[in-house]
Structure 1
Amino acid sequence: MFKRLLAAGAAFGAFAFAAASVSAQTPSTLETVKKRDQVICGVNVGLGGFSLPNSQGKWTGLDIDMCNAVAAAVLGDATKAKYVPLSAQQRFLALQSGEIDVLVRNSTITLERDAGLGIQYAGINFYDGQGFMVPKKLGVKGLAELAGATICVAQGTTHEFNVASWFRGRNLQIKAVVFESQDVMYEAFFAGRCDAMTQDSSALASALATRGKQADYMVLPELISKEPLGPFVRRGDDVWLTVVRWSFMAMIEAEERGITKANVDEQLKSTDALVKRFLGVTPGNGKALQIDEKWAYNIVKQVGNYGESYERNVGMDSPLKLPRGLNALWTKGGLMYPVPLR
C-alpha cells in the first residue's frame, strides 16, 4: 500500500512538474504585448459613449479609454492600442483564441462567463442595468404594459435570458425577435418591426443620442437586471490580469485624489507619500506590476482619471448626458471604490 502511495505521489509530482514547465515556457500576455509594442483590444462594433469612431475615424468612448489606459501603463503610450470591433457572438471566442489581449466591450460580468469560458474579469468600469425603449406614441409608462408586445433583442447577450425570465415570472406573454447584429436590431426597431427594444440602459441612451431619436422615443424608467460591465482577460494569465485591473484602479484613485490630466505634472511635486508612490516618484508599484514606475502617471497624463473619462464620453459633457449614479465615487454615493494602490 505504501509503495503504491509513493508511486502515485511520484507520478503526481512528475505531472505537476511537467505542467509547471509548460506554464513557465508559455509567455504571459504582458511579455507578448511588450514585445509587440501594441495592446490589441476587442471593442464594440459601434456604441456611442463606449466605442465608436468619430468623424475623423478616431475611436472614442469609455471602453476605448480603458484600452488606452492599459497601453499607457504597459507601453508608456496610450496611442499604442489597436481596436478590434467584435459582435456579441464573436467577443469571447476572440479572447479565448488569443486574437485579442483584452476584451473591453460593454460585456456583463456573470458567474457563467467568469467561471465557465476560460476567461475572467478584471474590474467593473460601468454599472448598468437592462432597460427598454418604446415609441412615445404608444403611451407606455411601465413594463407590465408590454404584455403581448413584440420586443427586439440582440443574440448572444444576457438580455435574451433576462427578458424571457422577467415576463415569464409575471405570467406575461411577449414575443422576442432575436437579431444577430445590434445595428440590424436598431434598424428593425426604428422601422417599426418591434413594439419595444431591450438592451443595457446606457446602450439605449446611446442609440437615442447618436440617431437623434429623443423626440419620438423614450427609455422606460424600470430596470430588470444588474449589468456590471468590465474588461475580461484569459483565465490563468495572472500577471496580465493584474496589470489590467490596476490600470483601471489607477483611474479611480486619481479621481478620488483630485489628480487630473491638467494638474498631474504639478502633483509630481507633492509631499504626500501615497501620491508620490502612486505617480512613481517613490518606486515600488511599477516593479510589483513588472512595468515602468511611471505607469499611473502615464495613464492620468494621457487618458485622464475616471471622472474625466466618464464625463466626456457618457456624462454631462457628452451627447448621452448620463448622471453618474452608481458610477460615482463611493464618497459621493456611488460604487467606484479604488483598492489601495500601495
Structure 2
Amino acid sequence: MRAGIFALGAALVVAGSLGAQAGTLDDVKQRGSVVCGVAPNNPGFSFASADGENRGFDVDFCKALGAAIFGDPAKVTLKVVQPRDAFTTLTTGGVDVLTHRFSWTFNRDNGGGIEFTQPVFFDGQAFMVRKADGIKSVKELDGGTICAAQGTTTELNVADYFREHGLTYKIATFDGTDATRLAYDEGRCDAWTNDRGSLASRGQGLKNPTDHIILPENISKEAISPIVRDNDPQWSHLVKWVVFSTIAAEERGINSANVDEIRAASTDPEIKRLLGVGDDLGQKIGLSPEWAYNVIKQVGNYGEIFERNLGTETPLGLERGLNALWTNGGVMMAPPFR
C-alpha cells in the first residue's frame, strides 16, 4: 500500500512538473503569438522605422521566437516596456520574454523571479563626451560631473571605478535613459555614461550626434540576455536554444540565403540535426523538427542579425568585438546540436 501511495505521489509530482514546464509555451500557442517586451525608442535595438515597422536587434530575436514556434516571424506581439516596469511586467505575466538592454547581474538573477537565458550581446560601460572638450580618456574626467540613469548598475559602476582609481566626480542622475540624454545634451554634465551599445544607439537622438565621441575605455563587462520567468524550465530552454541556433548557423556558414541549398545537400550530421533533417531535436522543447531552419531562413543567423541592425554599415557603426564568433576572436559560440 505504501508503495502504491508513493508511486501515485511520484506520478503527481512528475505530472505537475511537466505541467509547469509547458505553461508558457502552451499559453503562447493558444494565444497565437509570443508577447515580447522591448525597450522604448532604442535605435538599432528596438525602434519604429520610417515605414512604421518595429525593427532592431532585440526585435529580431523576438521574431526568431515566432519563427521557431509558429514558422512565422510575424507571430509576435511587441510590447514596449519602460525599464522601471520591465521585471514586474515579466513576473506578473504581462510578457512572455524580455529582450531588453538589461545586464546580467547576481542580484537580478537571484531572488527576483526572473532568469537570464543566453547572452546575445556582450557590452561594457563607457562614457560619451563632447569632441570640443578634447577629452581622450576617462581619467581626464577627474572632478567632472557625470550624467547617469538613476538606480541603475551604471551609477554603481561609476562609483566603483572612480573610487578604485582615486578620481573625484559628481553624479547627476535622471529618471530613465531619455531624460539622461537630454540632460547631457543641455550641458548639465561633462560626460554621459551607459553601456557602449546604448550610447551609440541613444546618441543618435542628440541635437548634433557627430559632435560627440565615446571614449575608448570600458569600465565594466555587461552580458545582455533575453529574460524569462524562473519557474518554467522548458520555456527557458526554448529561448536559449533559439539564440544558439542563430550562432550555430553562423559557425557553420549557414545563412538565410543558402539554408535551403545546404539543407538539401549537406551530409554533415550536425547540420542535418540543426536543420531538422532526420533527427527531431524540436520535440524536446515542444517544437517542430524544422524550428531552427525556420529561424535561419526567416530571420537569419547571428551575424546577419548583428550586421543589419548594429554593424559598421549602420548608423550605429559597431564592430563585432566580443560579439564575433569564438573562431574570430570573440566569445560567441553554440553548444553542439546533438
Give the TM-score category using the shorter length: over 0.9
Runs of 4+ residues over 6 Å off in structure 1: 12-21
Q: Structure 2 CA distance, aligned partners of 1:81 and 1:157?
A: 29
1:9 — aligned with what? none
Distance in 2 between residues matched to 1:14 and 1:284, nearest whole Å? 31
Q: CA deviation at 1:212?
A: 6.8
SS state at 1:208 partner: helix
> Aligned pair 1:293/2:289, yes or no?
yes
* Offset, 1:17: 8.7
**Local SS of the residue matching 1:268:** helix
Distance in 2 separating the partners of 1:151 and 1:34: 46
Identity of aligned residues (%): 45
Match of 2:173 among 166, 169, 178: 178
Partner of 2:171, secondary structure, is strand
**C-alpha distance 220-277 of structure 1, shift in aligned 2 (>3 A):** same
Cα distance in 1 for residues equivalent to 2:277 and 2:309 = 30
Q: Which residue of 320, 328, 332 corresponds with 1:332?
A: 328
Spell out, residue by residue over 1:37-63, the C-alpha distance to the aligned partner (whole angstroms, 9 max, x if none).
Answer: 110111111111111110112111111
Distance 2:150 2:39 in 1: 14
In structure 1, runs of 5+ residues without a counterpart are 1-11
**What is the CA-CA distance between 1:23 and the residue it aligns to?**
5.1
Distance in 2, matches of 1:191 and 1:303, equals: 39
CA RMSD between the two structures: 2.1
| Superposed counterparts of 1:245-256, under 5 Å | 245-256=240-251
Q: Does 1:202 align with 2:197?
A: yes
- CA shift for structure 1 position 285: 0.7
User: Normalising by structure 2, what TM-score?
Assistant: 0.92
Matches within 5 A, 1:203-282: 203-209=198-204, 211=206, 213-269=208-264, 270-282=266-278
| Rounded Cα–Cα distance in structure 1 between residues aligned with 2:180 and 2:7 | 54
Q: TM-score, normalised by structure 1?
A: 0.91
The one-letter amino acid paired with 1:248 is V
Gaps of 5+ in 2: 1-5
Which residue, 315, 318, 324 being the options, matches 2:314? 318
| Residues paired across the two proteins, number | 331
| Alignment check: 8 A CA contact 1:151 1:177 kept | yes
1:88·1:156 contact (CA, 8 Å) conserved in 2? no
Query: Paired residue for 2:64, among 69, 73, 96?
Result: 69
Q: Secondary structure at the match of 1:28?
A: helix
Between the aligned partners of 2:257 and 2:325, the Cα distance in structure 1 is 20
Taking a change above 3 Å as real, the CA distance of residues 13 and 182 of structure 1, as seen in their structure-2 partners, is farther
Q: Deviation digits for residues 205-235 of structure 1, max 9, x if unmatched?
A: 1233454734311111111100111111111
- Given that residues 145 and 191 in structure 2 are in contact (C-alpha distance below 8 angstroms), is that contact kept between their aligned partners in structure 1? yes
- Residue 142 of structure 1 corresponds to 137
